[in-house]
Amino acid sequence: MTQKKLNVAVVGATGAVGNQMIACLEESDFPLNGLRLMASARSAGRRLRFKGNDVEVEELTESSFKGVDIAIFSAGGGTSRRFAPAAAKSGCVVVDNSSAWRMDPDVPLVVPEVNPHAIAGYTKKGIIANPNCSTIQMVVALNPIYRKAGIKRIVVATYQAVSGTGKKAVDELFDGTRAMINFLDYKEKVYPHRIAFNCLPHIDKFQENGYTGEEMKMVNETRKILEDDRIAVTATTVRVPVFYGHSEAVNVETRDPLSAEAARALLENAPGVKVVDDPANDVYPMAIDGAGQDMTLVGRLRKDISIENGLDMWVVADNIRKGAATNAVQIAQLLASDYL
Ligand code: A2P
């Protein structure tokens, strides 16, 4: 049976993630009939390359979605809140990369390696949410451990690349670094403090409980994706002067005993995971290896010596690819093969 070919729209096509979504669609074997590219009025008429052809960027409006089967959104929460319902109403399925719909009980939050079955819930609102970048790579690494031994508690600290903030933040790290090494002044525009040669324990807005929005996303989204509200999660999310690739120090307390060796064997066979762990030869995952590829890299895997059932690990992935565009395109592929 030949697979039905679908019309896909990328909303936010001119942004950092949107650009990567176009590249992921180009690399994938997605059964594409036609590709539409949408952004704000500012970009209307611009041309972007896809498979050797120029595709004109259209201004996003509520009537943009006629004939579109899947719309992949990465144009910020406000745009998703405003336009995703209109897109769904016109009959297309929205895969949304913003945080706007993630915690809506009628919207599935999906990481294909972890909870692909949840996609079936898309019929309620016509929207599927793509999780937060830091959450995606953490649950890809923890899912095999969770399935085998259960998880009681997760303590995570992140080391997040500036590309997660968008293109302007990539420029800010570049320009700020250049200014520093030339003894020139540089005034920050994106972050509240200097990001060059610095670490900011501040991603997203501070909340009443002292956590940031990003930290609470990791708490709430992890529970939703693993479908287990008993998992205790605490996170400290930190922006570091790295362009691409998020790193995470993850400490996990399992319900049942699980040795580091058994965890390693599980991870070696887990979808989307690559174990990179040979400390004797200075081999461990690094942001520079995570960037530009689609696997979640896991290393520094060891028993936590401070508790009975604890493991420590270091988890790295490309925040723009697996943390955003790749995951969204994988969801679209599952929709195409199993649902539409
Ligand atoms: P535009 O380039 O026309 O402003 P980034 O996160 O890298 O800044 O990218 C954001 C993306 O979201 C861009 O493609 C941007 O388009 C798009 N976008 C922002 N606001 C809107 C809007 N109101 N309507 C449609 N697209 C938007």
Q: Which atom of ligand 1 is nearest to the CA of 18?
A: 14
Each residue's pLDDT tens digit, 322-338: 999 999 999 999 999 99
Each residue's pLDDT tens digit, 47-65: 999 999 999 999 999 999 9
For residue 39, report the distance from its CA to the centre of ligand 1, in Å.
5
Each residue's pLDDT tens digit, 202-261: 999 999 999 999 999 999 999 999 999 999 999 999 999 999 999 999 999 999 999 999
| For ligand 1, atom 22: residue with the closest CA | 40
Q: Which atom of ligand 1 is nearest to the CA of 41?
A: 3
What percent of the chain clears pLDDT 90, i.e. is strictly above it?
98
For residue 42, report the distance from its CA to the centre of ligand 1, in Å.
9
Q: Which of 22, 36, 40, 47 gets mutated to test ligand 1 (max ligand atoms within 8 A of its CB)?
A: 40
In the predicted structure, residue 90 carries a pLDDT above the cut 90: yes
Q: Are 297 and 316 in contact (CB under 8 A)?
A: yes
In the predicted structure, residue 71 carries a pLDDT above the cut 90: yes
pLDDT of residue 1: 52
In the predicted structure, residue 160 carries a pLDDT above the cut 70: yes
Q: Are 238 and 246 in contact (CB under 8 A)?
A: no
- The number of C-alpha atoms within 13 Å of 145 and in the hemisphere containing its C-beta is 33
What's this model's pTM, rounded to 2 decimal places?
Answer: 0.96
pLDDT of residue 329: 98
In the predicted structure, residue 103 carries a pLDDT above the cut 70: yes
For residue 43, report the distance from its CA to the centre of ligand 1, in Å.
8
pLDDT of residue 59: 97
Each residue's pLDDT tens digit, 16-51: 899 999 999 999 999 999 999 999 999 999 999 999
Q: Which pair of structure tokens corresponds to residue 214?
A: 């990003």
Q: Which pair of structure tokens corresponds to residue 238?
A: 């930190």
Count of beta carbons in the 10 Å neighbourhood of residue 309: 18
What percent of the chain clears pLDDT 70, i.e. is strictly above it?
99
pLDDT of residue 3: 78
pLDDT of residue 246: 98
Range 70-99 average pLDDT? 97
Q: Which pair of structure tokens corresponds to residue 57?
A: 């960027």
pLDDT of residue 265: 98
Strands 151-160 and 232-239 turn out to be: parallel
Each residue's pLDDT tens digit, 112-142: 999 999 999 999 999 999 999 999 999 999 9
Question: Is the CB of 329 inside a 6 Å radius of any atom of ligand 1?
Answer: no
In the predicted structure, residue 272 carries a pLDDT above the cut 90: yes
For residue 132, report the distance from its CA to the centre of ligand 1, in Å.
18
As annotated, the active-site residues are 133, 246
Range 155-166 average pLDDT? 97
In the predicted structure, residue 166 carries a pLDDT above the cut 60: yes
Question: Is the CB of 296 inside a 6 Å radius of any atom of ligand 1?
Answer: no
For residue 12, report the distance from its CA to the centre of ligand 1, in Å.
5
Question: Is the CB of 77 inside a 6 Å radius of any atom of ligand 1?
Answer: no
Each residue's pLDDT tens digit, 286-300: 999 999 999 999 999
Nearest to 311 by CA among 159, 145, 160: 145
| For ligand 1, atom 19: residue with the closest CA | 75
Question: Is the CB of 76 inside a 6 Å radius of any atom of ligand 1?
Answer: yes
Residue 2: pLDDT band with limits 50, 70, 90:
low
